[in-house]
Amino acid sequence: MSINSKAALAAGIASICIITGTAAIAQNASEAPEARYVMDAGTIGGFMGQGASHELTLRLGSRLPASGAPKADHFMPQGARLGASVPLETPVRHTGGTEYQGEFQRPKGRLLLYWGCGEKAGPGQPVVIDFARVAKGQMPPNLFSARVPVENGPQPENSRTYGTWPNGKSGKNISPQSSILGQHRIAGNYSPEIAFALNEDFMAGLRVRASNGAMGSTVINWNGLNNATGYYAWAMGGQDMGGNKGGDVVWWSSSATQEFGGGLWNWLSPGTVSRLIGQKIVMPATQTSCTVPAEVKKIAGEHMMGFVYAYGPEANFAFPTRPVNPKTPWHPKWTAKVRYRSIANFMTGMPDMPQMGGMDEDADEYRPSRPQPNPRKCKPGLGGMLRGALGGSGC
């Protein structure tokens, strides 16, 4: 794989997003909570044996206007190591779009989709996407399914007033030593005060190893996490992709059915994960290995990169609390949700992680490293995927 091809592959991995739907708000506007809060707490396993880091995203959405300039803060427990509080910034809304400048270059190459754990690919594989045909609006039928929801929560588009962190107002970062255990309080001028206590911290880090399997396949193994609700893995590779050369890109998913992207790349509630395990889209929490078919490795070449996702628990809070009797009307003033997950990447054709000097095979903890930035989000559709796979700027 050339240097340009590696760069194109990295861009593709960072930018591929397939969004198959958005979650709708169940209540009417007059019955919806005045404020909804979501706190996403993730653990990111270090690449090539480096230490694990934490990610923390905070989002406050309100149907109320702000009294003056929007302002809100999340007051943290001392263990978070973020000071007394972090500011939730309200993004500036922009209207209109940016007109594309430059000559359109029709994409070349193909994307080959494989799925399922096994030494050999199952029937009906691969599904082939010709980039040039997609550019003409010709998509293979029944390519993606809407069975995996995207559980977005508050967004600028579904909130009258909105605030988020991390942002440009605060130079603070969550650290590998940070803890979110304890009391949390969110206060601002466009929502009621929100308060809750967390008794569950960041999930442990995943350790993933890829090794050669039978018949040219690749076996990936990971350590089981005691609070994981299920696992999902994907991998991608290709040769001669840089500079729009037209090489093939292969993308594999651990799902036993033809499922890619959507909420699988996001944060999934335990109830959704349980349903997806029953549909064999997500692997059960007892599974700690999966075999990537030999056909995938043959197309990917020497280096293939991928991720393993461990979906975690979820904590929900509301005021007033939900009545014991489900028939009793319930109109909470605010709701808060804390979602957990742990992810780690792997790459074939590299030395084993312990040989990289970054971690002890039998160690319980990773060595600290700088927090990694949150992945960039893409708009719905294949545009970001195609640009990234072809070595472009992605989303």
Residue 367's CATH number: 2.60.40.10
Cβ-count burial 220-246 (b if 16+ within 10 Å, e if not): bebbebeebbbbbbbbbbbbbbbebbe
Structural domain includes residue 183: no
pLDDT in tens, 59-77: 999 999 999 999 999 999 9
Mean pLDDT of 89-102: 69
Please give the residue that has the higher pLDDT: either 145 or 325: 325
pLDDT at 22: 31
Percent of the chain having pLDDT more than 70? 72
* CB-based contacts of 298, cutoff 8 Å, min separation 6: 216
pLDDT in tens, 299-336: 998 889 999 999 999 999 999 999 999 899 999 999 99
Structural domain includes residue 182: no
Structural domain includes residue 171: no
Structural domain includes residue 251: yes
How many CB atoms within 10 Å of residue 129? 22
Residue type, 301: G
Mean pLDDT of 280-294: 97
Range of the domain at 307: 3-21+45-52+106-154+204-322+336-389
Range of lowest pLDDT (130-144, 164-178, 285-299, 327-341): 130-144
Structural domain includes residue 60: no
Structural domain includes residue 249: yes
CA R_g for the chain: 22
DSSP track, 130-162: EHHHHHTT---TT-S-S-S-----S-GGG-SEE
pLDDT in tens, 104-131: 566 678 899 999 999 999 999 999 988 7
Residue type, 213: G
Structural domain includes residue 113: yes
Coil, strand or helix at 299: helix
DSSP track, 200-252: --PPPPP-EEEEE-GGG-EEEEE---TT--EEEEEEEEESS-GGG---EEEEE
pTM over 0.95: no
CB-based contact 148:263 (threshold 8 Å): yes
- What values do phi and psi take at 391, rounded to 5? 90, 15
pLDDT at 81: 97
pLDDT value at 20 more than 70: no
The count of structural domains within the chain is 1
Structural domain includes residue 309: yes
- What values do phi and psi take at 167, rounded to 5? -160, 180
